[in-house]
């Protein structure tokens, strides 16, 4: 009897404690997700009901050239950011971890500072710095290429420049993760390796790198997911141009939903992007795990 009573009390407590989360999760995540999936099979506008049209939106997507351009641009951007940002973050983390005490905290803060800024401020800063007429980085570009370049209006420059801005903006977080990973490697192991005759280079490749690999794999996967969701920087810096050369999937979804009022079609685009992200990131994480085990 008392056992039953206690059990009932535990269930009540558990229910009470999880209820707020379950409520928020259902209202703001599960329901909208269901709505998007349902919308993607209709010809509904953004607001209001529509007709069930089956897979017609998905079929239309397969013949949409802008969609494939956008998808390609997304993959190009992933290539430009994911591995470079991880490598840069690792180099910075290794350098910062050599510093001690307050100096380390200060330098780490400096590297983390851009991450704190809102994306609108980040893009404004870089739009000024890269401005065609009076941007302070133009002399540098001119020194390399021979003349000033309107980077966000040049199809060859636009994606790499957005990648640079993005790396500058988000790198601090990766540095933080990698520093935490580096701190988890016991100092003893480096001392043992030094006694075993390992050079600093060998210490990195034979001790640091394999032991840091789980964190590196995590950073790579998080970056992949984040960079596939690219929208804000493009929207604010180039608006997809010039000649759609920086158009990405989320921009197309935004345009279909909020500018052309095609709620159903936009939902289908969102669903496809969602599937791409799930498949690619799961695939990558598994590959990285296998790579780490060898």
Per CB under 8 A, residues contacting other proteins are: 186, 188-189, 191-198, 202, 206-207, 210-211
- The Cα diameter of the chain in Å comes to 87
Q: Which residue has the tokens 């695939």?
A: 283
User: Which CB sits closer to other proteins, 39 or 207?
Assistant: 207
- Smallest distance, other proteins to C-beta of residue 111, A: 28
Buried b (16+ CB within 10 A) or exposed e, 82-112: beebbeebbebbbebbeeeeeeeeeebeebe
CB 265 within 8 A of CB 60: yes
User: Which CB sits closer to other proteins, 98 or 147?
Assistant: 98
Tokens describing residue 22: 């379950």
- Smallest distance, other proteins to C-beta of residue 92, A: 24
- Smallest distance, other proteins to C-beta of residue 77, A: 33
User: Which CB sits closer to other proteins, 60 or 206?
Assistant: 206
Phi-psi region of 83 (alpha: psi -120 to 50; beta: other; left: phi over 0): alpha
CA 53, 56, 61, 64 torsion: positive or negative? Answer: negative
Q: Which residue has the tokens 């994606």?
A: 159
- Smallest distance, other proteins to C-beta of residue 194, A: 5
**Which residue blocks in 56-157 are alpha helix, DSSP H?**
56-62, 65-98, 101-116, 119-129, 138-145
User: Which CB sits closer to other proteins, 148 or 185?
Assistant: 185
* Helices 263-293, 31-39: crossing angle, 10 deg rounding: 110
- Smallest distance, other proteins to C-beta of residue 96, A: 23
User: Which CB sits closer to other proteins, 49 or 188?
Assistant: 188
- Smallest distance, other proteins to C-beta of residue 63, A: 50
User: Which CB sits closer to other proteins, 36 or 189?
Assistant: 189
């Amino acid at each position: 009897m008392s056992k039953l009573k206690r059990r009932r009390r535990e269930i009540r407590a558990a229910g009470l404690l999880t209820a707020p989360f379950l409520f928020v999760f259902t209202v703001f995540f599960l329901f909208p997700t269901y709505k998007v999936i349902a919308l993607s099979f209709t010809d509904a506008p953004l607001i209001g009901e529509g007709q069930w049209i089956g897979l017609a939106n998905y079929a239309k997507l397969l013949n949409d050239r802008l969609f494939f351009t956008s998808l390609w641009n997304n993959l190009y951007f992933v290539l430009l950011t994911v591995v470079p940002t991880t490598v840069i973050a690792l180099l910075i983390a290794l350098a910062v971890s050599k510093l001690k005490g307050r100096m380390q905290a200060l330098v780490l803060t400096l590297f983390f500072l851009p991450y704190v800024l809102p994306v609108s401020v980040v893009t404004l800063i870089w739009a000024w710095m890269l401005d065609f007429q009076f941007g302070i980085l133009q002399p540098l570009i001119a020194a390399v290429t021979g003349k000033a370049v309107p980077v966000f209006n040049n199809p060859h420059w636009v994606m790499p420049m957005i990648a640079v801005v993005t790396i500058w903006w988000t790198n601090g977080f990766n540095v933080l993760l990698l520093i935490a990973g580096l701190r988890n490697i016991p100092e003893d192991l480096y001392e043992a390796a030094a006694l075993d005759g390992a050079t600093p280079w060998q210490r990195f490749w034979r001790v640091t790198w394999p032991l840091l690999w789980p964190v590196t794999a995590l950073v790579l996967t998080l970056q992949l997911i984040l960079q596939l969701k690219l929208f804000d920087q493009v929207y604010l810096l180039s608006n997809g141009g010039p000649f759609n050369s920086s158009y990405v999937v989320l921009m197309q979804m935004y345009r279909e939903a909020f500018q052309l009022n095609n709620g159903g079609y936009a939902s289908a685009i969102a669903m496809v992007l969602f599937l791409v992200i799930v498949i690619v990131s799961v695939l990558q994480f598994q590959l990285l795990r296998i790579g780490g085990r060898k």
